[in-house]
Structure 1
Amino acid sequence: MTIRFVSGVGADTGLLDSAITHYQGLGVDAFHIARHIESFDDPDFRRSQDVVARHDISFAAVHQGPWDEDLNGYLIWAQMRRHPTDWWVIADLDEFHVYDRPLTDVIAACEAGGYDHVKGALLDRVAADGSLAALEPNASIWAQYPLAGFVTLRLPGGDWHLTYPDTVDESRRMLQHLEANGGRIDVTAEELSLHRCGSDYSDYEAWPELVSRLKDIR
């Protein structure tokens, strides 16, 4: 059995190294990262090639051309069709999956129970002071962003099923919050349920609230 990771990557590759390191640690065997570029002369494209090369991998595909809302899904499904019987971890570079057991055990439980996918909860990581702090690549992500909470769930409008036409309004609400709080996320806002927690989230205080909400939308 091969556990494969797939992601479509655009211009923002700041988390590329951290994401590969994280999923290697989870036991991913093969990486299928599709890179979108506007030009092969883009210096960031060369830098991102160097990043993946440090992990002894290369981009599974490179797509040059304008971006559109359907391209990411197309690039991902094109990779998944190549290995239709394997298990895939699907994530953007800023989505760091955390499981309560090894991935091999998760897959074994799915196969034993006849399930073909696993759903999860989205918790945002936030700097202790709510600032939009730039990532320090040589330091732990979990230490740099020690708070976890419902920022994406609550600030953009509270809809778990976001659609593309809504993104302008969602972005506007997020910017309004930041402007009202001096360019920071208000870490004291009760509706965001921001709490300190470690990298495995076992000590996250608001789990009962989140689990209840997940049951409501299942």
Structure 2
Amino acid sequence: MTPAPPVLVAVIGPVEPALLTAWTAHYRALGITAFHLAFHFPDHVPGPWRDHLLTAVGELGITPATVSTGPWHEHTNSELRDHLREQAGPGWHLLADSDELLTFPAPLGEVIVTAERAGRVVVGGLMLDRVTPDGRLAHWRPETGLDRAFPLGGHLTHRLLHGDPRKIVLVHAGVPVASGNHRAPGHKPDPGALACVHHFKWRAGVLDDLRRRAQNFASGNWAEHTPAVRDEAGRLLDHVEGHHGRIDVADPRLGFRRVTLDQLPAGWAAEARTIVTRWRPPAANPRR
């Protein structure tokens, strides 16, 4: 018996309507029919931008569960996500940020059946950062498509930024998930069946967002639990400053190569297993 599709749960910030449209189409193609979305807008976001995005989501046939404005404290995303999960009810929840498009090793229904037969209540994924051919943080046009605009996938997040690349992408209702969807305390995903979390964060405007985030956390305007977010932002800003405003796609540490959303990268199962099983939080967070 094919299980019911999971409910997609996501907290959305001030992204481009075109990205939201592509994101929604991707998940509908995977079989998602129920979207539980919260929109949160920091105070600096102009009203017309907010209104334009909310109009766009309405045209996609989705009614947001909640819309809020104000500081984006480190706990804001988790609180909104957990409220959405309570509303979503029983069954499986798919967790994906608005810049994360998932590719699974099998159709979504099969992934869930396999997890249930193994007695697992979570399914994991590993982030693969998507960038332009030359590493520029570029605007993209909807008609170009994400795969053509950002054809390279590599391991920027954990090899350069020292961030946690692990993700919980499917979780059963009632199972708590940590901040950032990185872990489900007490539950381990199958490391041999990890989804690829295509991470389309590195677009035009992200540097301003990172600077603003670092400044607000440092000043105390936005509450933080640890300096990890600021540290990761600083590493990325230092990197692009040292490479003429670009990500160094030729750096062999980062492993950039051509990938697409319609299939897992070559050798993904072994590569992802190795990274997930070996990854440990950095003992300290110096920029390097």
* TM-score after normalising by structure 2: 0.69
Q: Which residue matches 1:124?
A: 129
SS class of match (2:36)? strand
> Contact (CA 8 Å) 1:4, 1:28: kept in 2 or not?
yes
| Comparing 59-68 and 104-113, the one that deviates more | 59-68
Q: Which residue matches 1:57?
A: 62
Change in 2 beyond 3 A, CA 1:164/1:97: farther
2:37 to 8, 33, 39: 33
> Contact (CA 8 Å) 1:195, 1:204: kept in 2 or not?
no
> Contact (CA 8 Å) 1:6, 1:79: kept in 2 or not?
yes
Q: Which residue matches 2:277?
A: 215
Letter in 2 for 1:33: L
Q: Which residue matches 2:154?
A: 149
Change in 2 beyond 3 A, CA 1:203/1:78: closer
Percent identity among equivalent residues? 33
CA distance in 2, matches of 1:114, 1:93: 29
> Contact (CA 8 Å) 2:5, 2:109: kept in 1 or not?
no
Shift of 1:213: 2.0
Change in 2 beyond 3 A, CA 1:207/1:191: farther
Letter in 2 for 1:193: G
SS class of match (1:35)? strand
CA distance in 1, matches of 2:126, 2:22: 20
Change in 2 beyond 3 A, CA 1:152/1:60: same
SS class of match (1:212)? helix
CA distance in 1, matches of 2:23, 2:145: 12
Q: Which residue matches 1:17?
A: 21
Q: Which residue matches 2:249?
A: 187
> Contact (CA 8 Å) 1:196, 1:204: kept in 2 or not?
no
Q: Which residue matches 1:170?
A: 232
Q: Gapped runs of 5+ residues in structure 2?
A: 167-181, 183-224, 281-288
CA distance in 2, matches of 1:214, 1:173: 22
Comparing both chains, which one has the higher relative contact order based on Cα–Cα distances under 8 Å and sequence gaps of 6 or more?
2
2:7 to 4, 7, 16: 4
Letter in 1 for 2:135: G
SS class of match (2:232)? helix
Letter in 2 for 1:125: R
| Comparing 5-14 and 119-128, the one that deviates more | 5-14
SS class of match (1:121)? strand
Change in 2 beyond 3 A, CA 1:159/1:35: closer
C-alpha RMSD over aligned residues = 2.4
CA distance in 2, matches of 1:38, 1:90: 22
* TM-score after normalising by structure 1: 0.89
Q: Which residue matches 1:43?
A: 48
> Contact (CA 8 Å) 2:14, 2:53: kept in 1 or not?
no
Q: Deviation per CA, 1:130-184, whole angstroms, max 9, x where unpaired?
A: 1111121222211111110001111113655897411222212111111111111
Change in 2 beyond 3 A, CA 1:41/1:214: closer
CA distance in 1, matches of 2:133, 2:267: 16
Shift of 1:202: 3.3
SS class of match (2:278)? helix
SS class of match (1:181)? coil
Shift of 1:205: 6.0
Letter in 2 for 1:63: S
Letter in 2 for 1:51: A
Q: Deviation per CA, 1:4-56, whole angstroms, max 9, x where unpaired?
A: 11111122345211211111111111001101135798112211122112221
Q: Gapped runs of 5+ residues in structure 1?
A: none
Shift of 1:65: 3.2
Q: Which residue matches 1:106?
A: 111
Letter in 2 for 1:6: V
> Contact (CA 8 Å) 2:127, 2:165: kept in 1 or not?
no
